[in-house]
Amino acid sequence: MEYIKVIGENYQDAEYQARSKYGSSIIVLNHKEVKIGGLLGTGLFAKSKVELTAALPDEEQARSSGKLKAATGKITTKDIVFKEEKNEQKSTAQHKPADSRLLLKDMLSQQELAATKEKFLQVADETRNREKNIQRSSQDLANSLLKKAVAESAAATPDMTRIEKSLQEILEAVKAWEGKSRALPELSFYESALDSWMTKLTDLDFSPSFSDHLMHELREKLTFEEQNDRELIRRKLSGILRNHIGISTPILKKGERKKVVAMIGPTGVGKTTTLAKIGAIYTFYENRTVSFITIDNYRIAATEQLKRYSSIINIKTHVVNGVEELNQVIQADSSDLILIDTSGRSPYHKEHIADMERLFQSLDVPVEKILITSATAKRKDQEVIFTQFGKVGIDKVIVTKIDESNAIGGLIEVADKYNKGLCYITNGQDVPSDIEEANAAQLVHLMLDYKEERMPRQE
């Protein structure tokens, strides 16, 4: 009997390759995960493959060998040959972490990785030793029975019934060894439950490299027995994701006075409405004095909209033109919180971003800048938004339109990459009700457990 090893993209692919090449009568013994490539030789971000081990039954070969031994009185042993099939196309792609900070995290955990690797290798050695002992015991039993059969066949009056019985015992011993081999524990982290979560992460707009990083963290937190526990996997992954969501401090701290805050961001994300919601929160719930300043002279409708909000909330509003007038208004205003509404700028228009950067550099007072971005923007767009508005300066982030998308993995990934914390999320147009303080657990629940319901609104 010969044995083969086949490497595939997953278990189904490996089994398909084996049965296509060697026939449907192969006996699958076990399978394990193997890593192809890896970061700096550590195995991190390596391509996951599945290696399948199977047996090739050869009844004609066994019968021919038995006849030869019975006729000659000699015992022949045939070495077990392992044929290792490898894919012609080896993955040389090394998934880089999403940024240097993720790489630093992985480099700092080398001791933990080494300890995990040593433990895994120890289990693998113990299992291989068990496999060798079972194989050695079955071979010793087969040799003993063969010697007995040959000795009986060499007698003056051979008893064919006893020879046939001995050969039957040999066949049963080999089958028993095959059954024990299939019962050996699998030496892999590969489980279909984990594979399904990898697909879920990419569907949530996480990049492939960041998804690999999250799965690497998840595997480190799971034992062999826990890899099929779907609910435990979900809880562990939920905790990992929460650790990647930064939450910032409140916009206005207790006792803080005359703080100037500007809302910046691309067009159409809801800056004016969000500014009105923030003003209402600090006016009605925090009992603080608030004033609005708008420098959005490109959209008359936006200015009129802000004036309507301010009259309802009873907040004074200033419409200014130019840096000099803006400095004068800020100096004369004594409110606890001064909120500046800026005009929306496309992150792809570098000159517009440069104009905004020069505006804030010309002010006489420090200004905290809050990036307003939409949950509906995809990861590649979020990358551009954070990069370009980062030139102006980003102190906090508010996510709007969270009621319109749960695929916010790209936003979470990019905010984590640039180390920016979220302070508020908005889930509708109503002022001031459709806004909440950012909560990591709530955002993870929205991503992982979303079905038909949306994020509940505050009453």
Residue 333, class by beta-carbon neighbours within 10 Å (0-12 exposed, 13-18 middle, 19+ buried)? Answer: middle
Whether the per-residue pLDDT at 61 is higher than 50: the answer is no
Question: CA 334, 335, 336: angle at the middle one, nearest 5?
Answer: 120
Query: How far is the C-alpha of 165 from the C-alpha of 248, rounded, in Å?
Result: 79
For the chain, what percent of residues have pLDDT higher than 90?
Answer: 34
22 band by pLDDT with thresholds 50, 70 and 90: confident
> Could you tell me if 388 and 371 are in contact, meaning their C-beta atoms sit under 8 angstroms apart?
no
Of 265, 272, 342, the residue nearest 307 (C-alpha)? 272
Strand order in the sheet with 2-8: 27-36, 47-56, 2-8, 82-85
Q: Tell me which of 14-18, 43-47, 96-100 is least confident.
A: 96-100
pLDDT at residue 210 greater than cutoff 90: yes
In CATH, what number does 259-448 get? 3.40.50.300
Q: What is the 8-class DSSP label of residue 289?
A: -
Q: What is the pLDDT of residue 303?
A: 75
Confidence of residue 392 (pLDDT cuts 50, 70, 90): very high
pLDDT tens string 284-296:
999 999 999 988 6
Amino acid 14: pLDDT:
87
The rounded distance, in Å, linking the Cα atoms of 276 and 311 is: 11
Q: How confident is the model at residue 409 (pLDDT cuts 50, 70, 90)?
A: very high
Is 36's pLDDT higher than 70? yes
Q: In the chain, where are the structural domains located?
A: 2-182, 192-243, 259-448
- If you average pLDDT over residues 251-279, what whole number do you get? 91
What average pLDDT does the structure give for the chain?
Answer: 77
Q: Give the global pTM.
A: 0.58
Given this model, what pLDDT does residue 339 score?
A: 95
Average pLDDT over residues 243-270: 92
Q: Residue count of the chain, please give it.
A: 459
pLDDT in the model for residue 237: 92
Share of the chain above pLDDT 70, in %: 65
pLDDT of residue 29 exceeding 80, the answer is: no
Name which of 71-85, 191-205, 288-302 the model is least confident about. Answer: 71-85
Give the per-residue pLDDT at 190: 42
Euclidean distance between CA atoms 16 and 24, whole angstroms:
9
Query: What does DSSP say about strands 27-36 and 47-56: parallel, antiparallel, or unpaired?
Result: antiparallel
**Average pLDDT rounded to a whole number, residues 355-381:** 93
Identify whether the C-beta of residue 446 lies closer than 8 Å to the C-beta of residue 455. Answer: yes
pLDDT band at 307 (very low <50, low <70, confident <90, very high): confident
Task: Look at residues 23, 45, 343, 452 and name the one whose alpha carbon lies nearest to residue 209.
Answer: 45
